[in-house]
Chains A and B, each alone.
Chain A
Amino acid sequence: MNLRESVGIALGAVRSNKLRSFLTLLGTIIGVMSVIAVLSFVEGLNRYVSQKLLNAGANVFWVDPYGFVTSQEQWEEVKDRPPITLDDADALRAGVPHAATVIAMADGSAIAHYRNKQVRGVAIRGRSAGYEVVDDYTLGAGRLFTDVDDQRRRLVCVLGSEVADELFSGLDPIGKQIRLGEENYKVIGVMAQKGKLLGQSQDRFAAIPVRTFQKYKQERGSFGVAVKSMDQASMPVAEQEVRNVLRGRRHLGPRAKDNFGITESENIMELYRNLTGGIFVVTIGVAAISLIVGGIVIMNIMLVSVTERTREIGIRKAMGARRRDVLAQFLVESTTLSLSGGLLGILAGVGLAVLAGAVTPLPTAVSVPALFLGVMMSALIGIFFGSYPAWRAARLDPIEALRYE
């Protein structure tokens, strides 16, 4: 039919009264904008997290007394479990053939001192040798610590690049003595920079041998064990082997539950997905409400338009327009209207996402399906809320419409 004409009429109406059109379309604009912005944000987060977190811990799982605790009740249940000891870790290293690397770990934090300089909030990572494979760091300078350093509980450390930069600002840190908390350590290496994850620096740490950590920082308490399996496929086998070793060491009967926990990065991803899913659902709700309000405003404007143009409808019918022609004309108009709102909303949403990506640590990525969704949604709003006014127009009696003053 006269699609071009109808679109033209609608766009003309939008353009001729910009303020009114803007107010009319505000609901649609806000609705589409929030959907686009949130989808872009969630999409960006997804990509970022799966890239950083999953790649870092590829084929890695963690063993500790508690497992992946997500609620208070769960915590009550697991909090009195026996600790994991360094002997447990050694037993796992010996008894899990499908593990490529097994490391023990313990974490603390301290102030780092070098001469008159100090750096606060340095994460102290007690680790077995070989931890860089698990934590996904590469050596920038110097050397890594070895099993021998660990066995002898040597006071040596490998610094994260941020700590090295702040303490030594330009000087070569290798071979220097620094103080971490109470003890002095010799810097034997510096890790290459890894960057930030969700705004958190990953380079603000000092790694020391785990037995050194045990001796000076933590006399009792539990250690964690990170296991990297040979490959993706052998993960479940490695997990089962870990279970067998620990159950054996703890003399658990066949019916007793594990009194230790195994966590995969997949578990963390899952929590994360639930979290973003929650944000997603809330925003979709808000967007739905503003879209409905926006749709009602569009319906109102279309009803006014139908009344104002009763004579025009009469003329068109007198010239042979069928009901469906009039219906189509007004549906095209309301859809054009809501689509212009949708496009503005997409622009605003993308703008918001890009802006958020630029000025905050939040990662954003505009997803193409989200743009399609925005277009689809606004078109559906136009069709749905335009139906009633269009139907009113279509069933007008020609002669009465012509007589309308």
Chain B
Amino acid sequence: MLITIRGLHRIYEVGSEKVHALNGVDLDIDANEYVAIMGPSGSGKSTLMNIIGCLDTPSGGSYQLKGKEIGKLSDDELARIRNQEIGFVFQTFNLLARADALHNVELPLVYAGVRHEERRKRAREAIDLVGLTDRIKHKPNELSGGQRQRVAIARALVNRPSIILADEPTGNLDTATGEEIMAAFQNIWHQGNTVILVTHEADIARHARRVVRMRDGKIESDTPQAAATSAAAR
């Protein structure tokens, strides 16, 4: 099993009040699955994604990635996992404002210790893949929302991680651009990688092979889904 989650809790303390963002989540995800996580706003989807992505740590319960208990790893080991194993696409892009597209995409390779020329080459390839070859020298504020999202996706792919986590990757995009990006994910999945994405759009969730629904920090339902026949196949 790639991901094994048992009795996961995440409690935020706001003043004297405790918010149970995750309230006992059990979830198994195998390698090369394509999972969509859905649910109403505030149900804990982003919180779960952040923990799976090793950005956040649980308040209780267990999360094993490739058999390793994440809670027991050191800061440096977590950084290595974020760098090598996981490609994270944020809902709010999270690009470096002062760096151009190429440099943003290079970033994971910088911390992977890849040499300069090799880094350039691979970043260009990733940018070509998302169709932004002619915007390589643009800074984020010189790009449209959809183009920024594609830079973020190129960045998530550039270090060839086996797990892609995408938190509402199409939230800011029009339908056409959203479909293009979904096609890119489809592709990544076809290459044998694991894709987990959060969305509240049924159209988007349709591309996944499994839909997990959340409510109030718990998993409400977990259902497999037949292959989509339309846009993604284009």
Contact = CB atoms under 8 A, between A and B. Distances in A.
Contacts of A319: 82-83, 107-108, 110-111, 155
Given A2-B110, A325-B111, A320 B88 contact: no
A324 B83 CA distance: 15
A319 B104 CA distance: 10
B94 A318 contact: yes
B75 A320 contact: no
Residue among B53, B94, B112 having the largest count of chain A Cβ atoms under 10 Å: B94
Contact of B111 (A314, A320, A398, A399): A320
Chain A interface main SS type: helix
Nearest to A324: B76
B75 A318 contact: no
A399 B79 contact: no
Interface size class of B (residues with CB under 8 A): 20 to 34
A90 interface: no
A322 B75 contact: yes
Interface string A300-332: 000000000001101111111111110000000
Contacts of A317: 79, 82
Given A399-B50, A399-B55, A402-B55, A320 B94 contact: no
B155 A323 contact: no
B94 A311 contact: yes
Contacts of A324: 76
A91 to B, nearest CB: 84
B147 to A, nearest CB: 18
Contacts of A1: 110
Contacts of B90: 318, 402
B66 interface: no
Contacts of B155: 319
A311 to B, nearest CB: 7
A310 B84 CA distance: 23
Given A311-B94, A315-B95, A325-B111, A320 B55 contact: no
8 contacts: A312-B97, A316-B107, A317-B79, A319-B83, A319-B108, A320-B111, A320-B112, A402-B90
Given A315-B96, A402-B55, A402-B90, 5 more contacts: A312-B97, A316-B111, A321-B79, A322-B80, A399-B55
